[in-house]
Amino acid sequence: MPRILVALLALALFGSTRSALSAQPLETGTWTGYISPPNGDQLPVTYDVRMESDTLKIDISNERMGSVPLQYIELSEDGMRFVWSPGVDLICRLKLKANGGYEGECAPEGGQSGIIIMNPPVKEE
């Protein structure tokens, strides 16, 4: 039942879902970054960004938590929103940065927020 409520809340907060292809394309590959839980240390993470059929898929992982898929991913011209469930459902809102990465906050319903940073893959010359 709680997962259904989170899904309904995510849809209500995000509005009608748009195809990831209708916003700016997200570069596939391994992204890097950090998560900082409320009152916690900054933890390095990687993001596996890929397309499966016409659906954007992203898994976030680190040594401590393993790999967790992001859900309800929505891209817009200026950011990204999704639900991440590393044990508790977190609603995340990120802003597009000048370097093509994203930075924002994730929080459980009514809880304290943490910071999440996504940096795009480094292009080799």
28, 37, 116, 117 from 86: Cα distances, Å: 22, 11, 13, 16
Ranges of each domain in the chain: 2-119
How far is 47 from 119, CA to CA, in rounded Å? 9
How far is 34 from 118, CA to CA, in rounded Å? 7
* 2-119 classified as CATH 2.60.120: no
Q: What tokens appear for 32 in the block?
A: 């890097």
Q: Could you read off the pLDDT tens digit of each residue along the chain, which spans 125 residues?
A: 444 434 434 444 444 444 434 445 789 999 999 999 888 889 999 999 999 998 999 999 999 889 999 999 999 999 999 999 988 899 999 999 999 999 999 999 989 999 999 999 987 76
pTM exceeds 0.95: no
